[in-house]
Amino acid sequence: MTSSRPRILQVGRLLPALESRLAARYDVHRLADESDPRAFLAARGAEFVGVATSARFGADRALIDALPHLQVISSFGVGLDAIDLDAARARDIAVGHTPDVLNDCVADTAFLLLMDAARQGSAADRFVRRGDWLRGTYPLATRVSGKKLGILGLGRIGRVIARRASGFDMDVRYHNRRPVSDVDYAYEPTLEGLAAWADFLVIASAGGAETRGLVSKEVLRALGPKGFLVNVSRGTVVDQDALVDALANRRIAGAGLDVFEDEPKVPEALFALDNVVLLPHIASGTHETREDMAQLVLDNLERFFKTGEVQASAL
Ligand code: 8YV
């Protein structure tokens, strides 16, 4: 059956409301419904002019290569580490994503994790549910207000985290590849220096090859036995084995993690530890933010098919 509506390949499942809105505007085919996606792409890849995907499912070089008439990729999420931007650039394919609309919720989650790791909210909740309160009081935790917050990656989300920190009277410094010109926060030229200074080190940088393993064993050593790590970025930014070791052996005080190296797999060694809070990658996961992200996925496609440019370009 032919259609005058642009033919879009949907990679992986999206929010049901987004899927139906996409299907109402475009001629959508879901790759996830195919029993042999590779064979399907080899036979029918030339039909598609657009891809709708997410930060999780991305669009790798093999997929892009299999779609010779691809013009636009619209991704649900801000992270671009699962999209081969070089492959897209080389073919002049537009890439849209969903920056900014999720800044507040991701920053809120950074503070949820920071507060929980330091004040032991989840662990104390387990203590009550186990009936342990009947046998004794909960151990003391760590104060958050007035402490030193180090931010790795003072981008869109990092800046909102820094703003949240002012409500807790925290002193903020940051590390980036380069200093940012329009902020007053102090720049730490090395990540180890930032970790050594900070009580709380929050990772808000992008994922991908450039940041892989940045939070190394040495950085964790610099953070030290009183320091906490929070990660709302990508698990790949941290040397996960070193982090598990540091938590198990109390070489850092604790951690709050929304992201992991090989999601949804979380190192089982962490399950028994009360000094780490584990979340299933939910930082942007509110009704309001996911709706805004869905709208931007649609807006990116709509703008592209009208003007040849997406609204929020990743390139
Ligand atoms: C994803 C995320 O959108 O935006 C990102 O980069 O990691 C999340 O907000 C979500 O996991 C869906 O892929």
Q: Quick one: 89 and 113 in the same domain? A: no
- In a domain, residue 33? The reply is yes
Say which DSSP state 253 is in: S
- In a domain, residue 2? The reply is no
- In a domain, residue 312? The reply is no
Radius of gyration of the chain, Cα coordinates, nearest whole angstrom: 22
Q: Quick one: 116 and 255 in the same domain? A: yes
The per-residue pLDDT for range 212-271, each reduced to its tens digit, is 999 999 999 999 999 999 999 999 999 999 999 999 999 999 999 999 999 999 999 999
- Both tokens of 125, joined, read 């909740």
Q: Quick one: 236 and 173 in the same domain? A: yes
Amino acid at position 267, single letter: P
Nearest to 172 by CA among 192, 157, 190, 150: 150
284 lines ligand 1 (CB under 6 A): yes
Q: Quick one: 119 and 84 in the same domain? A: no
- In a domain, residue 1? The reply is no
Residue 243 pLDDT: 98
- In a domain, residue 283? The reply is no
Per-residue pLDDT of the chain (315 residues), as tens digits, is: 456 899 999 999 999 999 999 999 999 999 999 999 999 999 999 999 999 999 999 999 999 999 999 999 999 999 999 999 999 999 999 999 999 999 999 999 999 999 999 999 999 999 999 999 999 999 999 999 999 999 999 999 999 999 999 999 999 999 999 999 999 999 999 999 999 999 999 999 999 999 999 999 999 999 999 999 999 999 999 999 999 999 999 999 999 999 999 999 999 999 999 999 999 999 999 999 999 999 999 999 999 999 999 999 999
- In a domain, residue 118? The reply is yes
Q: Quick one: 187 and 242 in the same domain? A: yes
The CA 1 to ligand 1 mean position distance, Å, reads 34
27 to each of 57, 59, 71, 225, how far by Cα in Å?
20, 19, 15, 55
Ligand 1 atom index nearest CA of 234: 7
Q: Quick one: 180 and 195 in the same domain? A: yes
The per-residue pLDDT for range 267-295, each reduced to its tens digit, is 999 999 999 999 999 999 999 999 999 99
In this structure, the residue with its CA closest to atom 3 of ligand 1 is 77
Ligand 1 atom index nearest CA of 284: 9
Q: Quick one: 41 and 94 in the same domain? A: yes
In this structure, the residue with its CA closest to atom 5 of ligand 1 is 77
Q: Quick one: 136 and 82 in the same domain? A: no
Angle at 178 (CA atoms; ends 174, 180), nearest 5 degrees = 65
Domain around 141: 103-278
The CA 171 to ligand 1 mean position distance, Å, reads 29
Residue 2 pLDDT: 53
DSSP 192-239: HHHHHH-SEEEE-S--SGGGTT-B-HHHHHHH-TT-EEEE-S-GGGB-
- Both tokens of 261, joined, read 């190296």
Within the chain, what is the greatest distance between any pair of CA atoms?
Answer: 71
Tell me the pairing of strands 200-203 and 186-187. unpaired
Contact, 68 vs 87, CB < 8 A? no
- In a domain, residue 315? The reply is no
The CA 233 to ligand 1 mean position distance, Å, reads 9
- In a domain, residue 264? The reply is yes
Q: Quick one: 300 and 174 in the same domain? A: no
CATH number at residue 67: 3.40.50.720
Q: Quick one: 231 and 153 in the same domain? A: yes
Domain total in the chain: 2
Q: Quick one: 38 and 119 in the same domain? A: no
Q: Quick one: 15 and 80 in the same domain? A: yes
pTM (predicted TM-score) = 0.96
Mean pLDDT score across all residues of the chain:
97
